[in-house]
Structure 1
């Protein structure tokens, strides 16, 4: 009997502790692809709840749903972290047209930018002036701008393979265009949608009036890329055409919302924290499936996969579903503020906020020493076609945690189609591929497993294979 007990214990030990990192990762990927929950969660979040703009009823419903689902996973802790968030509402659908002569109009597709004021009740109609940059507005000056609608028409740079770089190269016209045009007497702003393809979907997104007095605010809207091309071509033929648009949005008082947090408490170092997360809020035009429903359900799946595969983390692993990334970043700031107040030691944070497409790898915000050690893990990901390990940005919501002790990382899926959907009405559940979503969740879980096992100061390459 004693011999049988010894053999049984040895068997359990070998199966639990004798597995290589490659074996553990194979089990993670297999479980995610055969018994995953992320797609089911996203289905409900997208189709039963829908767009989750901060401060909205849908955002409240999303908080309740995701907390309930985390409760069902049997985590050690699940809680809501209160955070005050802005409440901007779109109101009735926007309407716009190009007028070439009295009574001769062509309707175009627009949507108000998040944070914009409404037009007067009767709308705004004025001559329009096309510019390619904010600098061009100041160069033209008040004489050319006053009383007109400024049309920012700088496309995303198509030959940049890293599409987020292309986005970063032109998003200033959306974020600050209204503020700058208002200084020179513009009566409104129309911005080309941040989209690499030509289609009829206007893409919203956050904008700011900066330190302008409210009396100088002007309405701002995005126009679809097809209609931006049309408007530009029509202006080349006739500089005197007019543009009309009407929108009904308004900024209301801040309301209370929540970050949703779940935790598996560490078995050896419970006071060292690893977090994985995405933002639970979305814009209101679609259902926020890629941005960022995908990141939220992948992050929830990380903790589920750890439990499902029998991995008992050394460190405390948290999933954080942040509220209000899109128009304020209040959730990310609140989480970091509370963590600092409590003196919590966070060693690693991973964010998924680039869509649910096929995972390619990660970008890391860390020291060269840590990054060089992390590169030793790359061969473990090679069988899953994960090859992108680069230093770079991580994620907006985990950014406020940054200090000299933490490694920040962002999941990097294939981004070539991401901006087809970003902030637009076609960001819906049907645009997400189940297998791609599940591969992303497994990839995130694998990286969390490795950081938990080796930490950030004693990362070892002993189990990795040379590239």
Structure 2
């Protein structure tokens, strides 16, 4: 009997691909077993949040966190650990308070948080009538005379129709970032915004704002909880309300700080695969989900490779980025340094969506690489990860995109994240051990596939 090579070739290739997929499935299971049984990420997160707590860039707590990260990377088995210098903004909140007064004539305390990087009132009471607008379109209809000397209140809510809460966050985010400049240019004394939250509680959320370069007056910007925002809007529909704001928030220039980096060297070459998160947090809560979770997950990937004796072809590097929350200086500095050092990077993934159950991996790369990763979907399905269609990447690794580095972001279930994000509610007790470790598992599995195939 004669055999046609062209007819047999698909059979040979099919058998090879099956064997390859089977071997990868075994390694996926090895990674999962090691992390779910012996993983240290949950204990590490407990230590970070309970012994150091929140870690705003420029603070003493943040510098303690850098020493903690150095030690944890060494404990995980990194061949090399170092601190990368970066200048970061030195913003301080200080004492702050907000009172409102309606027709009753009595001042009533309103829970609030100044927005990050906002200027305050220099410790003096600023008192003015509140004017309410629902959105930017309504504000644009107001004249400068109507706004001058007032405190503008924007009550733009999370759009509950979005299934992905990240979409709602992006939609509402402009009010946190830019409303102070809009109002300041029309002569307002301050702005109050509804917190960027998917919840209906009364927890205020902070987060970074920015002033336009041509701002001559940098007015204070504060956030209140959703419940207070709706109550204030209702009151303003029938009567005048006055606010008394006192805030010591201010920017104190820049200060020297550090990102923390640890790696295990490649056995084939020095090309780098990055896995990371941001070590800083806001100065409320404990920075557990944002982004202590991403930090301990990234360290867990390195520990697992060492523990399982996986002979990585390329250098696997954990980067604990500085200053994501109010400047992205760590991410920008890292990209500048790898460009200056002509250091080849094959891939970078960040975890900055909380330690909830992983659902997918967002991809920012050319179509060839995107399709290759999507072809691995069946390997990830047993771990509940199915969505490889989204296109975005973590804030810290985005500065590497112009350098041609393929980027990715772990995508956890988003439904609870923005209830606690940037607030006093972001504490260790909100993190589930299994969910946290599953996120680390998926990141480790992806890094394994990238290292093997690229």
Q: TM-score, normalised by structure 1?
A: 0.91
Equivalent residue for 2:40?
A: 37
Q: Is the 8 A contact 1:289 1:427 kept in 2?
A: yes
Report deviation, 1:141. 2.0
For residue 69 of structure 1, the aligned residue among 72, 80, 84 is 72
Equivalent residue for 1:219?
A: 220
Report deviation, 1:101. 3.0
Post-superposition CA distance 1:120-148 (Å, at most 9, x none): 43322211111122343232120221111
1:125/1:427 CA distance change after superposition, 3 Å: same
Runs of 4+ in 1 over 4 A off after TM superposition: none
Q: How does 1:136-155 map to 2 (within 5 A)?
A: 136-155=138-157
- Listed as ranges, the gaps of 5+ residues in structure 1 are 1-16, 456-467
**CA RMSD of the aligned region, Å?**
1.4
Q: Is the 8 A contact 2:133 2:152 kept in 1?
A: yes
Post-superposition CA distance 1:197-227 (Å, at most 9, x none): 11121000001112134x5111110011110
Report deviation, 1:416. 0.5
Q: How does 1:311-326 map to 2 (within 5 A)?
A: 311-326=310-325
Equivalent residue for 1:422?
A: 421
For residue 198 of structure 1, the aligned residue among 200, 206, 210 is 200
Equivalent residue for 1:284?
A: 283
Q: Is the 8 A contact 1:113 1:222 kept in 2?
A: yes
Equivalent residue for 2:62?
A: 59
Aligned residues between the structures:
435
Structure 1 Cα separation of the partners of residues 403 and 281 of structure 2: 31
Equivalent residue for 1:160?
A: 162
Structure 1 Cα separation of the partners of residues 420 and 218 of structure 2: 29
Q: Is the 8 A contact 1:84 1:256 kept in 2?
A: yes
Return 137-146 or 284-293, whichever deviates more. 137-146
Structure 2 Cα separation of the partners of residues 285 and 231 of structure 1: 24
Q: Is the 8 A contact 1:203 1:222 kept in 2?
A: yes
Equivalent residue for 2:395?
A: 396
Equivalent residue for 1:11?
A: none
Structure 2 Cα separation of the partners of residues 73 and 358 of structure 1: 23
Q: Is the 8 A contact 1:149 1:186 kept in 2?
A: yes
Q: Is the 8 A contact 1:264 1:303 kept in 2?
A: yes
Structure 1 Cα separation of the partners of residues 82 and 311 of structure 2: 21
Report deviation, 1:74. 2.7
SS of the residue 2:57 aligns to: coil
Q: TM-score, normalised by structure 2?
A: 0.93
- Listed as ranges, the gaps of 5+ residues in structure 2 are 1-19
Q: How does 1:13-412 map to 2 (within 5 A)?
A: 20-92=23-95, 94-101=96-103, 103-213=105-215, 215-238=216-239, 240-270=240-270, 272-403=271-402, 405-412=404-411
SS of the residue 1:20 aligns to: helix
